[in-house]
Amino acid sequence: MPARLKNLANKKIILAVLLFAAIFLCLGVVFSEPVSAQSNANQLLWGGQQGTIGKIIGLGDKDPRIIAAKIIRVFIGFLGIIALGLIIYGGWLWMTSNGDEQKIDKAKTVLKNAAIGLAIILASFGIVTFIINKLFEAIGGGGVPTEPGGAAAGLGALGSCTVETVYPQPGQREVPRNTVVIITFKEEVDPASVCNDTDGNGTFCGSGDKDKIIPNNIRFFKSNDNDSCEKPNNDCAVSNIIGTTAITTDNKTFVFMFDQNIGSPSEYIWYTARFTNDIKKKSDNKGIFTTCFDKFMRWQFEVSNKIDLTPPQVENNGVFPYPDFFKDKKVGAAALQAKGDITINNQPKFYTAATAGPAAVIAGPAAAITVDQSNKETGTLLVAISADKVTATLNKNAIKLGSQPVNNNSVNFPGYFSIKFSANVSAGNSWSVPITAEVKADTLVIGTKTYTFVAGAPTGDQIQSNANNNTTAGNIAAVLAAHPDVSALAAGNKVNITAKVAGKIGNSIALSSNSAGLAIVKMANGTDGDDNVQVFIKRDQPRNSAIQINFNEAILPITVSGKASQVSTYIRVVNNKAGAGGTGAGCANNNDCQSFNCNAGACVDNFLAGKFVVSNVYRTVEFLSDNVWNKRLRRKYLLFTAR
């Protein structure tokens, strides 16, 4: 066959393959409309009972056209793999041609044809998608949606952008008709951009309000009917559910409750939720989706023909810590606390400023002394005027300490004092000056804290040094009562120090002083115990454990999330200490109350202060206490109030 005819035949084959691919691509786009097609087919063929019928006869409830569309998509993917293979093959031919013109020409032909074929496939997909979209918009179909639960425009805001989570989840099936819609943003939004002040009380989306959504900002509608707000007449009331109340307690999680049950008692219906960028951030009043790829949030879910009348149930083994009403018994060697002590033999020094004078005149006029606080000398110093009458010398015990000029009848000896004469001086004039050095205060180091001894009333990390050694020991113990690592007990002139936490770690607590009057025995003899514990029911949990409750379905987060004081009507945590007082009972401290709140001798707030957090698509509730669990109260329980 001549080369020209051969090339023409090859081109015809390639065009036929590409035409075949384009036809299947068109069919794939047409069959990829699952929401409206599936909804219509369900109603016409099964009367809305396709799920029930499918389960009874053992068949799935997928629309055959969706299955066909998936097969076609796989085929298109296979064509893409072939195109990639041809490109690789053409490149290999070129690289191994070794300059052979025929091989190079063949490689060019393969690469050119592969590129043309790939371009035609992509172009045909784009053209057909555009045409089908316009056709659906013209007949009210709203364009070509994706398969429920699959990737879709608007879902980019979920997780990676400004939306934390939603309920129902994208693509979720068989949602009950009495469902609510929940959305949690990653930052606070302005509730006035979510709902109107329908009840006129001046607040927006409050828990006790009946405020309705702003339909231009938030829409819920049957996917088959499309979003009427997007149509030219912009009549949001045509297909969208306008009777929807919005509620929030933190401006981040919003619950949307429909005035009437959605869906149908005879069929399954897909719904779409759409949140627009007209919802504003509370921080800067910018659109909440401004930073997202899609400037809106949209997802779909299938509503069944059933109403859910069963309240959420706690899952089997869905509580942590597991219920445990017995205290574990330690059967191994107990850990020992490190100990040390301080003996006060002489009073620690407290700060004393340097002093000097008055000057005693040996010969000459009277003189006034001003001490330098950096002076380190103690004793009697001699000041004498030299024969030149303009220089004065400073001596101690016939040892010269320095000399300085006389200016305006005064002399300054840096590091000691300055002296001011009442009249002109003459050679041989001299004065004796008694002087004492500054005394630095002694310190006591315990752990990471340094305490300073003072003469007067102490403040902060200060200890009063008293003339009586026993009293000083008591002063030390009193100040150490607030130390985070040790406790102290005075016995005579001795202070016994004990680490608050048992184990070898207490041996490393610093215990030292620069005072010669204090005898220090450093922290020692702390030993770690073993972990041999006789467990009753379940092992006791650490003091900083969180409480977690897992439900079998999503729950309303506005009733069980937030501060304990805000949700105590629905959920709370109390002490299970035997004989503990209730609200209003007398108490000496927090341990005497069912909660940890003892105020002015009376128990208040019959719940533990803390925070409840909802996660896991609104199925898990966690409680984080504001207080570390009291080490003497090992058993706790949850008290629920159903509403």
Q: 268 vs 175, 221, 241, 243, 578, CA distance in Å? A: 9, 14, 17, 21, 54
pLDDT at position 125 is: 67
| Residue found by looking up tokens 């000097």 in the block | 356
pLDDT at position 69 is: 56
pLDDT at position 145 is: 44
Tell me the three state secondary structure of residue 374: coil
Q: Cα separation of 114 and 307, whole Å?
A: 55
Token couple for 115: 């590129």
pLDDT at position 609 is: 78
pLDDT at position 625 is: 83
pLDDT at position 294 is: 83
| Second CATH level (architecture) for the domain 151-308 | Sandwich (2.60)
DSSP calls for 526-582: -BPPP--EE-SSSPPPPTTPPEEEEESS---HHHH-EEHHHHTTTEEEEE--TT-B-
Token couple for 222: 């049957």
Enter the pTM of the model: 0.51
The number of residues making up the chain comes to 643
Q: How many helices (H) and strands (E) does the chain have?
A: 8, 35
123-140: buried (b, 16+ CB within 10 Å) or exposed (e) per residue? ebbeebbeebeeebbeee
pLDDT at position 128 is: 64
pLDDT at position 70 is: 62
Q: Cα separation of 288 and 186, whole Å?
A: 10
pLDDT along the chain (643 residues), means of 10: 49 49 48 42 45 50 55 72 84 85 86 84 70 53 42 73 93 94 95 92 88 93 88 80 91 94 94 94 93 90 94 89 81 88 94 90 93 90 92 93 93 94 92 92 94 90 90 93 93 95 93 94 91 80 85 88 84 65 64 66 75 90 74 41 39
Q: Cα separation of 575 and 568, whole Å?
A: 14
DSSP calls for 206-241: -TT--PBB-TTTEEEEETTT--GGGSTT--TTTTB-
